[in-house]
Amino acid sequence: MSTNELTGAEILVKSLIEENVEYIFGYPGGAVIGVYDAMHDMSHIQHILTRHEQGAVHAAEGYAKATGKVGVVVVTSGPGATNTVTGIADAYMDSVPIVVFTGQVATHLIGNDAFQEADIIGITRSITKHNFLVKNVGELAWTIKAAFHIASTGRPGPVVVDMPKDVMASKTTFVYPKEIKMRGYHPFYFGHMGQINKAVEIINASHKPVLYVGGGVVNSNASNELVNLAKKLNAPVAMTLMGLGAYPGDDELSMGMLGMHGTWYSNKAVDECDCLVAIGSRFDDRVTGNPATFSPNSKKIHIDIDPSAISKNVKVDVPIVGDVRHVLERLTPLVQPLDTKDWLKQIDGWKREHPLRYENGPEIRAQYIIEKIYELTKGEAIVTSDVGQNQMWTAQFYKFKNPRSNITSGGLGTMGFSFPASVGAAFGVKDRPVFSINGDGGIQMNIQELTTAVGNKLPIKIVILDNGYLGMVRQWQDLFYKKRYTHVSLGTNPDFAKIAEAFGAAGFVSDKADDVVPILKKALKINDRPVVIDFRTTEEDNVYPMIPSGGTFAQIMDYPKSVEEIQMAKAHSEAVK
C-alpha cells in the first residue's frame, strides 16, 4: 500500500483544511472515533466541544449567519445524528450554509438495526438541500467538495454527509478537487435582462413604491446594493424578520419589520403601495397573512435566486430569477429617481400616529430592556434572539444597523436556538459584543451550552426576559382562547443567576426597571466569561401590533393605550376568531 495513502478520517481533516474551515462544532462517539483520532494533531482547525448535538448545529448556524462562511458539524451515528435533526431543519428553513458530518455503522451492518444505527439519510432527506451516504473512501474527497459547494452556492442550505465507520478506516490516495461540476445543479446568478427591463418600467411609473426585503439580501451580501437602490428611488424599506439589518434600521427610509408583529406603518405602506419590489424574500405566511388580499393595489416584482420561491405563495407580475446582488447591480442604473415626497410624508404621518410603544413603570418591561441594549451598543452588537415574544420585541426595538447582526430562527421558530447560536457567532466575530436574548422557556432548552461558553471564555451577554410564562402561547390564549391559560405557566423556574455561577459564568438578577442600565453596563465590562442576566419582567404583556394569523391589514391590533382600548382589542379579536 502506498505510503501516500490516507484513511478516510485523515482525508476528512485534510479536506476541511482545504476548505479553509476555522471551527468544527461537534461531539464524539464510537462511529467517529477514528475521525476524532485524526483530529488529535490538527492545528489548522479548532474543534469546539458542545454539550449537545443540537447545540452544535445551532452554533454552526450562528457562525455561518454571522460570518457568511459555511458552518461545520461532526457528530456520531444513531442518537448523535438524530439529535442534529432540529438544527438541520432550522438551517433548511432559513437557508443557512452548514455541512453536517454524521458517523454511521459499517457498510455491511447498514439495515441490520446495528448498535447506534439510524437512517439519517432518509430522516433528513426532506430537510436538507442535499445529502450523501459515502460508500467508498475513493469518493470521500469529491463528496466533501460537493457538500461545501452545494451548501454555499445558489440558495444556501444544509448538507449532510453520512460516513460509515469502515469507509473512514479505509485508505486511498488523497486528491482534493479544485472545482466541482454537478449535472443538473447550475444556479443562475445574473437575472434575465428582459425581466429586469420589465421591472424597471413598473418601478419608473410608480408613485408609491415599497422595497420588501428578506434574508436573501443578507445571504448574497447585497446590503450596499440595496441601499443604493433605496436612496436612488427615495423608496421606503420594509424588512422581514430575516431581513432586519439588510438595510440600516435607523435610516429615515426604514420602516422596520412588516408582517404579523411588524410596525403598523410598514404594513399600512405595503397595503397601499402601487409597486412592491420583493428582494430576497419569499412571501411567507407571517408576512402576507391572507395571500389573496396581500398588497392588493400593487404591481409586484420578485427577485430571488430560488425559482421555486417565485409565485409560490403570491402571484407576481415580474419574476426575476437571480442572485440579489447581481440583479440589483444591473437594475439600479436603469431606474429613475422617483418623486416620492407625498408618499414619504404620508408614511411619516403614520409613524407619528402609530409608533411602537409600551407603558413604562417600576416593573421591568421587556421592550425597555431591548431599547437600552440598543442604546448602550449603538446598534453595533450581534444579537441572537430566541423564539416567541422575546424575538418579536427584539425585532421591533433593536434597530439593526448592519447585515449579519440579527441572528434568529425564522422559518422553523426553534426555541433554544439563541444561546448556542450566540456561541457560534462569538467564535466568528470577536470585535463586537454578542447578546443572546431569550425567554425563560427557551433558555432552558439548551442551557447546557453554558459549559461551552465558559470553557472558551466567550463574553456573551445572555439576557433572559423572565415573565414566568411561555409568553407567546399565553398571548394567543389571552387574545383568542378567552384567557384560558393551559400549561403555559413556568412557575418552577430555577434561579438563573445561581445556575450561571454554578457553570462558572457571572450572574445577575433584578425585577426593578432602575437596575436595567446599571446591570447592562456591568455586564459589558466583563470580557473573560459569559454573563447571565435574569430580568424579571412584567408577567402578562402582549406583543403589538398584531395581525391575526391568516388575517388582513384591516384586522391589525395596535398597542392599546387604555383599559378601554384593551377591552376593545379583545372584543375585536373574538370577532376575528
E strands of 428-543, at which residues?
A: 434-439, 461-466, 506-510, 531-536
Closest CA to 244 of 258, 264, 229, 234: 258
**Backbone torsions φ then ψ of 430, nearest 5 degrees:** -105, -5
Which residue of the set 46, 115, 188, 501 is catalytic? 115
Q: In this structure, what DSSP letter does residue 547 have?
A: P
Q: Give the residues across from 489 on adjacent strands.
A: 469
Closest CA to 494 of 464, 451, 525: 464
Cα gap 24→424, rounded to integer Å: 10
Cα gap 281→239, rounded to integer Å: 9
Residue type, 449: E
Active site residue 53: yes
Which residue of the set 10, 19, 53, 272 is catalytic? 53
Active site residue 165: yes
Active site residue 375: no
List, in order, residues 6 or more apart from 518 with CB less than 8 Å away.
none
Residue type, 267: N
Active site residue 116: yes
Instruction: Count CA within 13 A, CB hemisphere, residue 518.
Output: 8
Angle between helices 516-525 and 366-377 (to 10 degrees): 40
Cα gap 87→419, rounded to integer Å: 13
Residue type, 14: K
Q: In this structure, what DSSP letter does residue 478 have?
A: H
Which residue of the set 165, 268, 351, 401 is catalytic? 165
Which residue of the set 260, 472, 546, 557 is catalytic? 472
Which residue of the set 5, 116, 171, 190 is catalytic? 116
List, in order, residues 6 or more apart from 492 with CB less than 8 Å away.
none
Cα gap 98→412, rounded to integer Å: 16
Strand, helix or coil at 328? helix
Angle between helices 8-18 and 140-152 (to 10 degrees): 40
Residue type, 399: K
Print burial letters for 242-264: b (CB count within 10 Å at least 16), e (below 16).
Answer: bbbbbbbbeeebbbbbbbbbbbb
Active-site annotation, residues: 53, 115-116, 165, 472
